[in-house]
C-alpha cells in the first residue's frame, strides 16, 4: 500500500531552509562561527556525559554523529578556533617515539585476594583489631573490573577548568607508560572539566584519577570478528584485548575499539583528595567521570557478603567482565592508620569469584573449513553447565594448541568461560576419577568436504584447504557476504545458506568416536545446490526459493527484496563482502576512499596499494593477488552484471540539510534505511528514531506505520523517497 505522501513543492522546501538558517539579525552574534562552535561543543560534551558516564543517552548515535559532523565542518572552516579539548580532537597524532616512561605520583599497588567467606572474615577481623575497639568500620564494595588500571592527570585549563594532561599505564607500579594519545580517545574520559563542575564536586583544578580501563564484551567480540576476518589471531579475552589496545601506536584504531574507563580513586599530589572512598567516588561522578553504578557503602562484613552474593549473578548481564568484588575501608583516616603491607594496602581486599570453569570429557573433534580455507579443530564436549549456559563445544585453535595441551580424545578437560567469550580448554585433568583418553587427535590430510589435500604455508600454524571452490568455503563466504555489516541481506542466514547449497550443516562431523581420519564419511549434499558462487544469489528466482523447505511466498518475496536492496550497498561493503584475506571493515573503507571505484582498485599496483593508510605490504600483496586472480575477476564481473555498485559513495559532507531532522519510516522503493541515513547525515541533517514537533520531515515508504500517523497529528511534513532525493540534491540552491 502506498502511503499518503506529501511531496513538498520546491518553494516550500526553500522556505523551510530559509526559516531554519536565516535568522533575524538581532541574534546574529549568537551565530558567529565562534559562538556556534562553542554551543556545539557544550551540547556534545553534555551528550557524551549522558551517554558515557551516566548510561542515559538522549540522542541516537546518528543524532550524536550529526552534531559531531557539524562541529567538524565548522572547525575545518575555522582552524584557528580548534582547541585541544574540543570533542573532535580525541583522535590526534601517534606518539612519535613510542610511549615515554613516567613515574607515578604514588605507587600503583595491587590488592591481596580472598577466595572465600572465611578468608574475607579473617581480613575483616584483623582490620578491626588494628583499630580502636570503639571505632566502627564502614566498607565500600565495588565491582572488580577485569581490565587494566590507569592514572589520569589533570592540570589547570582555561577559565578555571581542568584539562586532561596525561594518561599513564600502571607499568611496574612505580613507573608507567605515557599513553595519553590513546587515553584521549576514550569517550568516558573527560578532556576538560568546567570550573562549575569542579566547584560542585569540591575538586581543585589539578588532580589525579585512577581507574580501570575495560573493553566491553560487544566491542571485544567485534574486534575479534574483524581480526579473524583480516586473518589475524583473535584476542584471548577482553582484558588482553584492552591491554593490547591501550598500547596500540595508532590512536585511530584505539578510538574504534571503544574502550571505557571507570574511575575509582581521586588523588591530589599523590594523596587522597576526599576524606572517604565513597566521597571520592561521588566527587568523580559529579565531575563527569564514569563511576561504576554498582558501588555501595555498607555497615559491616555481613553486608559485604550480601553484596558479593548479589554481584556474582550480575556477571552475565553487565556487558563487561568482572572477576570479583573490591572491598575498601571507607574512612581515609582509618586507611592512613591501617597502612600497607609490602605491595598491598591493609585497608582493601579483592574477593575473587571462582573462575567459571568445569571439568568435562572431550568426546571428539570436528574440523571446520573456514572462509579463507583455514581448518579449525573444534572440541566436542560432553555438555556441561558453566556460568549460566550449557557448553558443548570449545575451540582448539590449531595443531600447536592441541600439542601444547597434549590432549587426546576421551580425556577430561578443564573448560573455562568468561562472559561472552568462546569457551576454552585450559588443561587436561588426570587423577583417579579422571583417567586419560587413548585416541590421538589426528588432523585430516585432505579437506573433509572437497578432498583437496591440505597445505600448511611456510611460517604458518594453520592448515588450509586451497581449493577456492570448496563447498565448505563457499558456505562460509556466502554467510559472510550476506551478514550484518557486510551486505546486510536479512534472512540469508546460516540455515538458508546451507539449504541453498543443498546441505544440512556447515561442517563435517568426524566419525562417531570422534576420531578424525582421512576417510571419514563426507556429508553428501542431500539435494541439488541452487548456488555455486556468491554471484548466484543475484539470479535466484522465486520458484527456486519456494522449492526449499520452510520457505513460503512471504519469506521468498522479502528475501528477494533484500537481495535486490543489497545491490545498493556502498563499495566498501562490496569489498568487505568479497572476503579478501586481511581486509576487514576499516581496510575496505580505506581502499574505497582511496580509489573510489573497483576498476581503479583493480588497476592499482602493489606499490600504489601500499600508499593507502593502514595497508602494509602484506595486505597490499593479498589484495593485488586477489584482484588479479582469474576466478575472482570472473566473480567480480558477474556481480557487476548483477548490478552491484562498484563506485564509492561520495563521502563529501555538505550542510545542505543542516538544522533539519528526519524520521524514516516504512520501506523506501530504492534506498535502504542505512543508505538514506548515510546520505542525510552526509548532508548535515539528523536522523531521529521518533517523531516529535521538532521533526522537520518524515520520510515515509511502503507500510509506514504509527510514525506516519504521529507525523500527521503533529502536522510534520511527510515526504517520499523522491522528495528526500530532491531535498538532498537542491537543498543548497535555496
Ligand atoms: S582499587 C591499591 N578498585 O584490580 C590498589 N582496583 O588486583 C587498589 N581493579 O590493579 C586498586 N576494579 O587494576 C580497585 N574497583 C576497583 C577495581 C580495581 C578492578 C583492579 C586494578 C588493580 C587490581 C588489583
Report which protein residue has its CA nearest ligand 1's atom 18.
Answer: 144
- Nine-digit cell string for 98: 613510542
Out of 4-18, 45-59, 160-174, 677-691, least confident range: 4-18
Going from the C-alpha of 290 to that of each of 43, 242, 328, 658, the distances in angstroms are: 18, 17, 19, 32
- Find the mean pLDDT for residues 547-565: 91
The response to whether residue 345 sits with its C-beta less than 6 Å from ligand 1 reads yes
Dist. CA 511–CA 576, nearest whole Å: 36
Out of 333-342, 374-383, 413-422, 463-472, least confident range: 413-422
State yes or no: pLDDT of 532 exceeds 70.
yes
State yes or no: pLDDT of 514 exceeds 70.
no
Q: Which helix (H) or strand (E) holds 619?
A: helix 617-628
Q: Hey, which residues does 87 pair with through a beta bridge?
A: none
pLDDT of residue 179: 94
Report which protein residue has its CA nearest ligand 1's atom 21.
Answer: 149
- Find the mean pLDDT for residues 450-470: 86
Report which protein residue has its CA nearest ligand 1's atom 10.
Answer: 110
pLDDT of residue 513: 36
The response to whether residue 681 sits with its C-beta less than 6 Å from ligand 1 reads no
Q: Which residue has the higher pLDDT, 553 or 734?
A: 553
| Helix (H/G/I), strand (E/B), else coil: 41 | helix
Radius of gyration for the chain, computed over Cα atoms and rounded to the nearest angstrom: 29
Q: What does the DSSP 8-state code read for residue 415?
A: E
Cell 540534491 maps to which residue? Answer: 729
pLDDT of residue 650: 60
Dist. CA 495–CA 500, nearest whole Å: 9
CATH number belonging to the domain at 661-733, selected among 3.40.50.300, 3.40.50.720, 3.40.50.10190, 3.30.9.10: 3.40.50.10190
pLDDT of residue 503: 67
> How far does the centroid of ligand 1 lie from the alpha carbon of residue 206, in Å?
23
Class level of CATH domain 471-566: mainly alpha
For residue 378, give the nearest of 313, 326, 448, 323 by alpha carbon.
448
The response to whether residue 113 sits with its C-beta less than 6 Å from ligand 1 reads no
pLDDT of residue 673: 77
pLDDT of residue 148: 94
Residue-wise pLDDT for 619-674, tens only, equals 999 999 999 999 899 999 999 999 998 988 665 567 888 889 999 998 888 777 77
If 0-12 CB within 10 Å is exposed, 13-18 middle and 19+ buried, where does residue 32 land? exposed
Dist. CA 482–CA 496, nearest whole Å: 11
For the whole model, what pTM was predicted?
Answer: 0.57
Report which protein residue has its CA nearest ligand 1's atom 17.
Answer: 144
pLDDT of residue 653: 66
pLDDT of residue 389: 66
The response to whether residue 144 sits with its C-beta less than 6 Å from ligand 1 reads yes
pLDDT of residue 237: 76
pLDDT of residue 661: 92
If 0-12 CB within 10 Å is exposed, 13-18 middle and 19+ buried, where does residue 573 land? buried
**Quick one: pLDDT band at residue 362, thresholds 50, 70, 90?**
very high
What's the CATH fold of domain 357-440?
Answer: OB fold (Dihydrolipoamide Acetyltransferase, E2P) (2.40.50)
Going from the C-alpha of 157 to that of each of 191, 285, 427, 568, 642, the distances in angstroms are: 10, 20, 53, 48, 58
The pick from 104, 105, 111, 349 for probing ligand 1's pocket by mutation, whose C-beta has the most ligand atoms within 8 angstroms, reads 111
Dist. CA 675–CA 188, nearest whole Å: 29
Atom of ligand 1 nearest to the CA of 344: 2
State yes or no: pLDDT of 515 exceeds 70.
no
pLDDT of residue 279: 97
Q: Which residue has the higher pLDDT, 16 or 266?
A: 266
Out of 225-239, 336-350, 437-451, 617-631, least confident range: 225-239
pLDDT of residue 289: 96
DSSP 509-547: ---TT----TTPPPPPPSS--S-SSGGGGGG--HHHHHT
Residue-wise pLDDT for 68-104, tens only, equals 999 999 999 999 999 888 999 888 777 767 788 999 9
pLDDT of residue 670: 75
Cell 590449531 maps to which residue? Answer: 398
Helices marked H in 294-407 — which ranges?
301-311, 332-338, 399-405
pLDDT of residue 519: 30
Q: Which helix (H) or strand (E) holds 193?
A: strand 192-193
The response to whether residue 111 sits with its C-beta less than 6 Å from ligand 1 reads yes
**Quick one: pLDDT band at residue 241, thresholds 50, 70, 90?**
confident
Residue-wise pLDDT for 366-410, tens only, equals 998 888 888 999 999 998 877 656 788 898 988 889 999 999 999
**Residue range 115-352 in CATH 3.30.470.30:** yes
pLDDT of residue 366: 92
The response to whether residue 346 sits with its C-beta less than 6 Å from ligand 1 reads no
pLDDT of residue 92: 78
Report which protein residue has its CA nearest ligand 1's atom 23.
Answer: 110
The pick from 264, 308, 335, 342 for probing ligand 1's pocket by mutation, whose C-beta has the most ligand atoms within 8 angstroms, reads 264
pLDDT of residue 651: 56
| Helix (H/G/I), strand (E/B), else coil: 87 | helix
**Given 30, 144, 293, 343, the catalytic residue:** 144
Cell 581448518 maps to which residue? Answer: 375
Dist. CA 331–CA 337, nearest whole Å: 10
State yes or no: pLDDT of 732 exceeds 50.
no
Ranges of each domain in the chain: 4-89, 115-352, 357-440, 471-566, 571-642, 661-733
Residue-wise pLDDT for 476-490, tens only, equals 899 999 987 799 898
Dist. CA 412–CA 363, nearest whole Å: 9
- Nine-digit cell string for 689: 528514531
For residue 667, give the nearest of 721, 600, 590 by alpha carbon.
721
Fold: same for 471-566 and 571-642 = yes
Q: SS3 string of 690-711?
A: CCCCCCCEEEECECCCHHHHHH
Residue-wise pLDDT for 660-711, tens only, equals 999 999 888 877 777 788 788 878 888 888 899 889 999 998 888 788 888 9
> How far does the centroid of ligand 1 lie from the alpha carbon of residue 622, in Å?
43
Q: Which helix (H) or strand (E) holds 661?
A: strand 661-665
* Catalytic residue list contains 144: yes
pLDDT of residue 539: 95
Cβ–Cβ < 8 Å for 172, 107 = no
CATH number belonging to the domain at 571-642, selected among 1.10.1130.10, 1.10.150.20, 1.10.3720.10, 3.30.470.20: 1.10.150.20
Give the Cβ contact number of residue 524 at 10 Å. Answer: 7
The response to whether residue 612 sits with its C-beta less than 6 Å from ligand 1 reads no
What's the CATH fold of domain 4-89?
Answer: Helix Hairpins (1.10.287)
Cell 566527587 maps to which residue? Answer: 283
Calculate the average pLDDT of the chain.
85
The response to whether residue 212 sits with its C-beta less than 6 Å from ligand 1 reads yes
| Helix (H/G/I), strand (E/B), else coil: 507 | coil
- Nine-digit cell string for 38: 562553542
**Pairing, β 661-665 against β 697-700:** parallel
Q: Hey, which residues does 357 pair with through a beta bridge?
A: 416
Cβ–Cβ < 8 Å for 490, 562 = yes
Report which protein residue has its CA nearest ligand 1's atom 22.
Answer: 110
Q: Helices then strands (H, E): number in the chain?
A: 26, 26
The pick from 104, 143, 145 for probing ligand 1's pocket by mutation, whose C-beta has the most ligand atoms within 8 angstroms, reads 145
pLDDT of residue 418: 62
Dist. CA 431–CA 509, nearest whole Å: 30
Residue-wise pLDDT for 293-321, tens only, equals 999 999 999 999 999 999 988 887 888 98
Q: Which residue has the higher pLDDT, 234 or 576?
A: 576
Helices marked H in 329-413 — which ranges?
332-338, 399-405
DSSP 261-280: EEEEEEEETTEESSSBHHHH
> How far does the centroid of ligand 1 lie from the alpha carbon of residue 708, in Å?
51
High-pLDDT (> 70) share of the chain, % = 89
Cell 522537520 maps to which residue? Answer: 696
Cβ–Cβ < 8 Å for 522, 529 = no
The response to whether residue 109 sits with its C-beta less than 6 Å from ligand 1 reads yes
Amino acid at each position: 500500500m502506498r502511503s499518503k505522501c506529501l511531496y513538498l513543492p520546491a518553494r516550500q522546501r526553500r522556505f523551510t531552509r530559509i526559516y531554519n538558517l536565516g535568522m533575524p539579525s538581532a541574534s546574529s552574534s549568537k551565530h558567529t562561527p565562534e559562538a556556534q562552535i562553542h554551543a556545539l561543543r557544550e551540547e556534545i560534551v553534555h551528550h557524551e556525559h549522558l551517554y558515557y558516564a551516566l548510561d542515559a543517552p538522549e540522542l541516537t548515535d546518528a543524532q550524536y554523529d550529526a552534531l559531531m559532523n557539524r562541529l567538524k565542518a565548522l572547525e575545518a572552516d575555522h582552524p584557528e578556533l580548534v582547541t585541544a579539548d574540543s570533542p573532535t580532537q580525541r583522535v590526534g597524532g601517534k606518539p612519535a617515539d613510542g610511549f615515554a616512561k613516567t613515574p607515578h605520583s604514588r605507587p600503583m599497588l595491587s590488592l591481596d585476594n580472598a577466595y572465600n567467606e572465611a578468608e574475607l572474615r579473617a581480613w575483616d577481623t584483623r582490620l578491626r583489631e588494628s583499630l580502636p575497639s570503639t571505632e566502627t568500620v564502614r566498607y565500600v564494595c565495588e565491582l572488580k573490573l577485569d581490565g587494566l588500571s590507569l592514572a589520569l592527570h589533570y592540570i589547570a585549563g582555561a577559565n578555571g577548568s581542568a584539562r586532561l594532561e596525561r594518561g599513564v599505564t600502571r607499568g611496574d607500579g612505580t613507573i608507567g607508560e605515557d599513553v595519553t594519545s590513546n587515553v584521549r580517545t576514550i569517550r568516558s574520559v573527560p578532556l576538560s572539566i568546567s570550573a562549575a563542575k569542579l566547584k560542585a564536586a569540591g575538586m581543585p583544578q589539578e588532580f589525579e584519577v585512577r581507574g580501570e580501563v575495560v573493553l566491553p564484551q560487544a566491542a571485544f567480540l567485534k574486534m575479534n570478528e574483524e581480526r579473524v576476518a583480516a586473518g589475524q589471531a583473535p584476542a584471548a579475552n577482553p582484558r588482553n584485548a584492552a591491554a593490547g589496545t591501550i598500547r596500540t601506536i595508532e590512536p585511530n584504531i584505539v578510538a574504534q575499539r571503544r574502550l571505557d574507563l571507570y574511575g575509582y580513586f581521586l588523588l591530589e599530589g599523590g594523596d587522597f583528595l576526599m576524606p572517604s572512598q565513597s566521597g571520592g567516588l561521588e566527587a568523580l561522578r559529579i565531575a563527569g567521570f564514569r563511576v561504576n553504578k554498582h558501588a555501595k557503602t555498607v555497615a559491616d562484613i555481613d553486608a559485604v557478603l550480601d553484596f558479593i552474593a548479589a554481584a556474582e549473578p550480575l556477571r552475565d548481564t553487565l556487558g563487561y567482565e568482572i572477576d570479583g568484588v573490591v572491598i575498601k575501608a571507607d574512612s581515609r583516616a582509618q586507611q592512613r592508620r591501617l597502612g600497607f603491607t609490602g605491595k598491598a594496602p591493609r585497608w582493601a581486599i579483592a574477593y575473587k569469584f571462582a573462575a567459571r570453569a568445569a571439568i568435562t570429557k572431550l568426546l571428539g573433534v570436528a574440523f571446520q573449513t573456514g572462509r579463507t580455507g583455514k581448518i579449525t579443530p573444534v572440541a566436542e564436549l560432553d555438555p556441561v553447565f558453566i556460568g549460566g549456559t550449557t557448553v558443548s563445544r570449545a575451540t582448539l585453535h590449531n595443531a600447536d594448541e592441541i600439542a601444547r595441551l597434549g590432549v587426546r580424545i576421551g580425556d577430561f578437560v578443564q573448560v573455562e568461560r568468561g562472559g561472552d567469550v568462546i569457551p576454552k580448554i585450559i588443561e587436561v585433568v588426570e587423577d583417579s576419577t579422571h583417567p586419560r583418553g587413548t585416541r590421538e587427535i589426528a588432523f585430516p590430510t585432505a579437506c573433509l568436504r572437497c578432498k583437496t589435500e591440505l597445505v600448511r604455508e611456510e611460517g604458518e600454524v594453520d592448515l588450509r584447504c586451497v581449493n577456492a571452490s570448496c563447498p565448505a568455503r563457499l558456505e562460509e563466504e556466502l554467510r559472510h557476504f550476506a551478514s550484518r555489516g557486510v551486505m546486510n541481506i536479512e534472512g540469508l542466514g546460516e540455515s538458508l545458506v546451507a539449504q541453498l547449497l543443498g546441505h544440512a550443516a556447515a561442517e563435517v562431523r568426524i566419525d562417531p568416536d570422534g576420531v578424525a581420519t582421512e576417510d571419514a564419511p563426507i556429508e553428501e549434499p542431500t539435494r541439488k545446490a541452487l548456488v555455486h558462487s556468491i554471484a548466484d544469489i543475484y539470479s535466484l528466482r522465486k520458484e527456486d526459493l519456494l522449492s526449499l523447505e520452510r520457505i513460503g511466498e512471504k519469506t521468498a518475496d522479502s528475501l528477494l527484496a533484500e537481495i535486490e536492496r543489497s545491490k545498493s550497498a556502498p563499495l566498501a561493503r562490496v569489498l568487505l563482502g568479497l572476503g579478501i584475506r586481511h581486509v576487514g571493515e576499516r581496510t575496505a573503507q580505506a581502499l574505497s576512499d582511496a580509489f573510489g571505484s573497483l576498476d581503479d582498485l583493480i588497476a592499482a599496483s602493489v606499490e600504489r596499494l601500499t600508499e593507502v593508510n593502514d595497508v602494509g605490504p602484506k595486505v597490499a600483496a593479498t589484495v593485488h593477488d586477489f584482484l588479479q586472480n582469474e576466478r575472482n575477476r570472473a566473480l567480480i564481473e558477474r556481480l557487476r552484471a548483477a548490478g552491484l555498485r562498484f563506485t564509492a559513495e561520495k563521502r563529501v559532507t555538505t550542510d545542505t540539510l543542516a538544522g533539519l531532522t528526519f524520521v524514516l519510516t516504512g520501506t523506501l522503493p530504492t534506498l535502504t534505511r542505512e543508505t538514506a541515513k548515510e546520505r542525510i547525515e552526509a548532508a548535515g541533517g539528523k536522523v531521529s528514531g521518533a517523531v516529535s514537533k521538532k521533526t522537520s520531515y518524515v520520510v515515509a515508504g511502503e507500510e509506514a506505520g504509527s510514525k506516519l500517523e504521529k507525523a500527521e497529528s503533529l502536522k510534520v511534513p511527510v515526504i517520499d523517497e523522491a522528495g528526500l532525493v530532491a531535498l538532498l540534491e537542491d537543498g543548497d540552491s535555496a
